[in-house]
Structure 1
Amino acid sequence: MIDNNPVNIDAKTISPFKCVFGSAGKLEEDNKIAIIAIYGCWLPDRRLREYHYIMDQLFYYVYHKLEKLVSNDYVLIYFHGATPKHRTPELKFLRKYYQMINFRLRKNLRAIYVVHPTRWLRTVIALSRPFFSNKFYHKVHYLFTISELEHEFPHNPISIPIIIEQTDWLYSQKYDRQNASIKRSIERSASQPFGSKESESAA
């Protein structure tokens, strides 16, 4: 039931996509906070003829699962690794489904962790800001590697599909290169005396 309207879920249609949803139990520090996982790599292909119908049915299924599992606050982890663009929902779908979520589930959402965010996805999320509340937008956090996820949830073993684990090293290498580049820039700035010609020209 969504907004007091009964909804019939087409179990046969969504059967191949049920693995998009997972539960990782409760936070050990607070046994009331549920951890929910969404795996983008298992989302339907946008090129499917009945894509809109499948997405609606899948949303009803995920919504039903959330209603059953979430009694208090919850954390949502979205795994974007190994997700091709043709499996990433368009912004209009995200906006539509967000508006269909009831107030309790919106309010009880403590945080959203996006694992393996691409530059493209971060741009889409930034552009979608006008369509969501500021509170919702500030709940979004990016985790670039699985090791960062494990650091964030050290006591909660979260099931990660092999296909996502296999792509983690790509994100790890890219993230390490970015950090090294930032570190070198900071070191160069720190070693440069204030007021030097080089710093003046850079300014």
Structure 2
Amino acid sequence: MVMIDMRDIQLDEDESEDQYEKLLRRAKTEDLTEISGIGCLYQCGVDRLGRPVIVFIGKWFPATKINLEKALLYVIHLMDPIVNGDYVIVYFHTLTSNNNYPSFTWLREVYNILPYKYKKHLKHFYVVHPTFWTKMMTWWFTTFMAPAIKEKVHNFPGIEYLYPDIPPQQLEIPAYITEYDMTINGIRYFEPDQSQNLLS
């Protein structure tokens, strides 16, 4: 029988917390305009329960060309004040390509660095316009790397599926996403159903 030394676990948690605090200090002082200027991650409005909505535009994230350490600093800079309370994330996978996908190693590192409050206060993670690949990778990631958020992930084939939880006037998204949505789904394709409301 393998015995786990709780002191080792506590040490790992403390090391992770120290690492996050160092990154937070850097995020507050370093020039991150190069990353913020890309416009792929931002806060826009609130959901129907008044929780901040964070939008991530997959197509605009140049994962293969960007400084990923700076990208992490920008995530921390934007998110740290928000994650002290409940929040939701909307990830638009619309028209993304291989150049937009960071490595799983980097994703796992980010997930492990971010403190518990990020996982605890995340109420929903919506993926809009997922592909089969996205669904498989999301399942794999939330099953083996991030089980704490597995039940919070929801795949939606169109923007209007967000509306029971996030009013349309609270969503600021690029025109290409709306145009793509209309191309594949048509106009007014979603019939609201109380059973699909995820708010909690």
Aligned to 2:5: none
**TM-score, normalised relative to structure 2:** 0.73
Q: How big is the alpha-carbon RMSD for the aligned residues of Structure 1 and Structure 2?
A: 2.3
SS of 1:138 mapped into structure 2: helix
Tell me which amino acid in the other structure corresponds to 2:102: P
**1:34, 1:70 within 8 Å by CA — same for their partners in 2?**
no
Equivalent of 1:69, from 60, 82, 91? 82
23 and 15 in structure 1: CA distance in 2 versus 1, 3 angstrom threshold: closer
Between the aligned partners of 1:137 and 1:69, the Cα distance in structure 2 is 21
Between the aligned partners of 1:111 and 1:69, the Cα distance in structure 2 is 14
171 and 63 in structure 1: CA distance in 2 versus 1, 3 angstrom threshold: farther
Please state if 1:38 is matched with 2:56: yes
After TM superposition, the runs of 4+ consecutive aligned structure 1 residues lying more than 4 A away are none
153 and 15 in structure 1: CA distance in 2 versus 1, 3 angstrom threshold: closer
Larger Rg: 1
SS of 2:80 mapped into structure 1: helix
Please state if 1:143 is matched with 2:161: no
SS of 1:151 mapped into structure 2: coil
Between the aligned partners of 1:162 and 1:131, the Cα distance in structure 2 is 33
**1:27, 1:35 within 8 Å by CA — same for their partners in 2?**
yes
**2:44, 2:55 within 8 Å by CA — same for their partners in 1?**
yes
Between the aligned partners of 2:21 and 2:42, the Cα distance in structure 1 is 25
Between the aligned partners of 2:173 and 2:46, the Cα distance in structure 1 is 17
Aligned to 1:11: 32
**TM-score, normalised relative to structure 1:** 0.72
SS of 1:71 mapped into structure 2: coil
Unaligned runs of 5+ in 2: 1-17, 190-200
Aligned to 2:92: 79
Unaligned runs of 5+ in 1: 177-203
22 and 127 in structure 1: CA distance in 2 versus 1, 3 angstrom threshold: same
Aligned to 2:173: 160
**1:36, 1:76 within 8 Å by CA — same for their partners in 2?**
yes
Aligned to 2:70: 57
Aligned to 1:95: 108
Q: Size of the alignment, in residue pairs?
A: 165
Between the aligned partners of 2:83 and 2:46, the Cα distance in structure 1 is 10
